[in-house]
Amino acid sequence: MSHESISAFFPAYNDGKTIGGLVQKTLALLPALAVDFEVIVINDGSSDDTAQVLEQLRAAHPDHVRIITHEHNRGYGGALRSGFAAASKDLVFYTDGDGQYDPSELADLTKRMGPSVGFVNGFKKNRSDPWHRVAIGWLYNRFARFIFGIQLRDIDCDFRLIRRSLLEELSLRSTSGTICVELVKKLELCPYLVEEVGVSHYPRLHGKSQFFRLRSLFTTFFQLARLYVTLVILPQVTGRDVRTA
C-alpha cells in the first residue's frame, strides 16, 4: 500500500560507520511506500566522521535528504524532538542510527497503518544485546509499563511509525531515553488505534550505547520520576490533558 507521504528520520550520535548504509537502504525503500518522502538525520553533536558521511549523502540526494546538526549533544530525547519538529510529511517514521534495526522492515509497519490507526510500534522479536543489557532493558520495560499504565509490550523499541497530526498535539519535554515512555504514554491517550509489529534486532557492531552510562542512567531515572508526577499524579489532581503537559 502506497501512502501519500512519509518522513523517515534517524537520530545519530557518533554513528559514522552505520548511518550511511541505513540512509541508503531507506532511500531505496521509500519510493515503493509513499508518493512523497524525505529522510532526515539529526547529528546530535557527533565527534566522529558522522558529519562528513552525512554531507556526502546530502550532496548525492539533495531532493530527499536533510541534515540537522546540533553543535552540542542534546541527548536522545533532544534528538528525537528535533526530528519530530523537522518532519513535514503525513507519516513520521524513526529508528536509531546505530544499525540495530533494519529500516526495510518499515514496509511491515506501513501495512498496518490504516485510517483508524494512530501509530504502529515495533517490538523486538529477539534482543541481540549482552545479557546485562537484556536484563536491565527487561526490568526497565516492565517497571515503566506498570507505573505508567502503558499497554505496549516494548516501550524501548525505537522503531515507530506515527501520524504527524498526532505529534503536533503533543508537548514532549524529555531529553533522555525517557522520551520513549513520555511519547508512548501520550500517544496511547489519542483517539486512534495502536498496532504492534514484531521486528528484528541486531547486535551493535560499532560505537557504545549512551543509555548504559552512569550519568545517563541517573538522568533517565530522574526524568522518569518527574514524568510520573507530570503524567500520573498531576492529572489525577487537576484533571488536565496529559498530552500537552
The answer to whether residue 226 scores a pLDDT higher than 80 is yes
* Band (188; pLDDT cuts 50, 70, 90): very high
* Band (213; pLDDT cuts 50, 70, 90): low
What is the distance between the alpha carbons of residues 101 and 124, in angstroms, rounded to a whole number?
9
The answer to whether residue 1 scores a pLDDT higher than 60 is no
The answer to whether residue 140 scores a pLDDT higher than 60 is yes
The answer to whether residue 157 scores a pLDDT higher than 90 is yes
Closest CA to 201 of 167, 235, 163, 158: 158
Show the domains of the chain with their CATH numbers: 3-244 (3.90.550.10)
Residue found by looking up cell 504502529 in the block: 120
Residue 176 has φ and ψ, to the nearest 5°, of -105, -165
**Joined grid coordinates for residue 183:** 511519547
What is the predicted pLDDT for the residue at 120?
A: 98
What is the predicted pLDDT for the residue at 240?
A: 63
The percent of residues in the chain predicted with pLDDT above 70, rounded, is 90
What is the predicted pLDDT for the residue at 66?
A: 97
DSSP character for 151?
Answer: -
Strand ranges, E, within 46-183: 65-70, 91-95, 117-124, 159-163
* Band (30; pLDDT cuts 50, 70, 90): very high
What is the predicted pLDDT for the residue at 54?
A: 97
The answer to whether residue 63 scores a pLDDT higher than 90 is yes
**Joined grid coordinates for residue 163:** 501520524
- Name the average pLDDT for the chain: 89
